[in-house]
Structure 1
Amino acid sequence: MRNKWMHLFFESKIPFYIYKLYKGDALIFRYDSKHKPLMIVFHGTVYVMKIFTNSESLFLAILTNNSIIDFNFNSNYAYYKVIALENTYLVKFFWLDYITHFKYLSTLVKLLDLFRYTLIQYEKSSCILLHKSIRYRVIQLLLLLCKEFGILNNNYIIIPFELSQKTISCITGSNPITVNKVIKDLINRLFIKYVVKRKILICYFSFFSYLRDNKII
């Protein structure tokens, strides 16, 4: 798959690598004192986790097309995990190569645009973890996914990729049992529908009306 970013790297003679992740696949990046990697998501959707040496994990962001992943390593006390929510293509390159090879100001300007766009994605994602309640974290995640990726269909919105309860628990910092209870409650209230075999989630308009009437959104 070719796109403007691949063309730009070819044109500037910047070494790069292409990764294709199928939904559910993951890439792991560990501390390397010699190289600072960057990745551009040029097709698809991923979420990024920071995993600490004590096995605790922290959700960072959901990122999609034209987002840039900047791995902020301070030491080897943690690593990053990039997990695909759908089939995804990424470009990986290194800062040193970029600085050494880029010839055109437009290349730098385009990269800065990506950083600005990605910052917005991080800010939107951070709203999920602002809530202490796991219930509200799950609700905030559903709202974000509906707004950013949802497909409108009559009186409901479809989240167009597989979303397992394990994934929801990772993002919200909870456990699958708690997430399952929250999802079941929303289903019983006829706010959402969860297609178990396909792991596709549907949010009905009654869900948004409830949140608005109770001043949750």
Structure 2
Amino acid sequence: MKWIKFLARNKIPHYIYKLKQEDCIILNNIKNKNNSILIILSGCIFITKVFPNKEILPIAILHINDIFIEKNKELKIYYKLVALETTYILTFNTSILNKNKISTLLEISIINAYKKTIEKYEAINNIMCQKSIKNRILQLILNISLQFGKVRNQQILIPFQLSNKNIAILTGTSKNTVNKIMRTIYSKSIIKDLDKKIIILDNILNLNLK
């Protein structure tokens, strides 16, 4: 993979973590003066910011070549990364970049990947700006379909199971509310499970749950 080759060529120490579905990583950088860069090598994760009062703020859904830079210095605030499917994450310390003369190609790759990642942050922000919980859920499903969906026989196949619990976290609502809305969606045969997959049967843009 290009990232591993770049880091090896520049003699930058790095680590690779494997997360199974629903595994998570907790990031709290208070004791570390340096920031860390995490790059998704394969798979898919979502990131939330957890506050001292246990309030959870969804940050982004990231997949291959997306970057997360850990900058948290706030007391008792941490980030939680949850795998939606088997995921490999590469991580290294930013202080290494300052001490080493890294290649221009590596710098450009990091900058370009981060620019691409910003769109994922904006997507979650747009979802959270929706006042209607129903619209948040529908926009989340649409966003995931556009990012990860594969068209097959006029159906959109999402290659991982998105639980109601995770939908609730990513839309800032309760699991009970999500259960109610998802039951309506399933009853209209818009979405159904198949072999631990999600298939969207109809055009989500024409969906009306009134």
Superposition TM-score, scaled by structure 2 size:
0.93
Equivalent pair of 2:23/2:82 in contact (CA under 8 Å): yes
Q: Structure 1 residues 206, 119: closer, same or farther in 2, change over 3 A?
A: closer
User: What is the match of residue 115 of structure 1?
Assistant: 114
- Mapping of residues 65-104 of structure 1, within 5 Å: 65-104=64-103
2:3 to 5, 8, 15: 5
1:201 aligns with 2:198: yes
1:170 maps to 169
Per-residue deviation, residues 33-55 of structure 1 (Å, max 9, x unmatched)? 42211101111111001011111
CA contact 1:191–1:204 (8 Å) conserved in 2: yes
* Inter-partner Cα distance in structure 1 for 2:15 and 2:96: 12
Contact 1:40–1:66 (Cα < 8 Å) also in 2: yes
Per-residue CA deviations over 1:56-106 (Å, capped at 9, x if unaligned) read 110000011111101231422310011111111111111101221243122
Tell me, what secondary structure is at the counterpart of 1:205?
A: coil
Contact 1:150 1:157 in 2 (8 A): yes
Match for 2:116: what amino acid? Y
CA contact (8 A) 1:13 1:102 kept: no
C-alpha distance in 1 between matches for 2:79 and 2:13: 22
Distance 2:117 2:203 in 1: 31
**1:205 shift after superposition:** 2.1
Letter in 2 for 1:168: I
8 Å CA contact 1:35, 1:96 repeated in 2: yes
The CA RMSD measured in Å over matched residues stands at 1.7
2:16 is aligned with 1:18: yes
Ranges in structure 2 where 5+ consecutive residues have no aligned partner: none
Q: Quick one: distance in 2 between partners of 1:55 and 1:139?
A: 25
Tell me the equivalent position of 1:57.
56
Distance 1:110 1:206 in 2: 36
1-side partners of 2:63 and 2:155: how far apart? 23
* Counterpart residue identity of residue 113, structure 2: L
Task: Output the amino acid matched with 2:167.
Answer: I
| Cα offset, 1:156, TM superposition | 1.9
- Distance change (3 Å), C-alpha of 1:82 and 1:61: same
> Offset at 1:193?
1.8
Counterpart secondary structure, 2:79:
strand
Q: Which residue of 1 aligns with 2:131?
A: 132
**SS at 1:98's partner residue?**
helix
Alpha-carbon distance in structure 1 between the residues aligned to 2:98 and 2:18:
25
User: Is the CA contact 2:168–2:178 (under 8 Å) kept in the aligned structure 1?
Assistant: yes
- Please tell me whether the aligned partners of residues 138 and 168 of structure 1 are also in contact (alpha carbons under 8 angstroms): yes
Q: Matches of 1:32 and 1:111 in 2, distance apart?
A: 25
Identity %: 31
Please give the secondary structure, in 1, of the residue aligned with 2:205: helix
In the alignment, the residues of structure 2 paired with residue 193 and residue 103 of structure 1 have an alpha-carbon distance, to the nearest angstrom, of 48
**Residue number in structure 2 paired with 1:28:** 26
Gaps of 5+ in 1: none
Q: Distance in 1 between matches of 2:144 and 2:37?
A: 25
Residue 161 (structure 1) aligns with: 160
